[in-house]
Homo-oligomer: A and B are copies of this chain.
Amino acid sequence: MPTAYVFINTKPDSMPEVLKEVRAVKGVEVAEMVYGVYDIAAKVKTDTMDQLKQIIAFNIRKIDNVSSTQTLMVVP
Contacts and interface: CB of A to CB of B under 8 A. Distances in A.
A41 interface: yes
A16 B54 CA distance: 11
Given A41-B5, A57-B15, A61-B12, A33 B74 contact: yes
A71 interface: yes
Interface string A28-49: 0000111111100100000001
Interface of A: 3-5, 9, 12-13, 15-16, 32-38, 41, 49-50, 53, 56-57, 61-63, 66-76
Given A5-B41, A36-B72, 8 more contacts: A12-B61, A12-B66, A32-B75, A35-B71, A35-B75, A38-B72, A41-B74, A53-B75
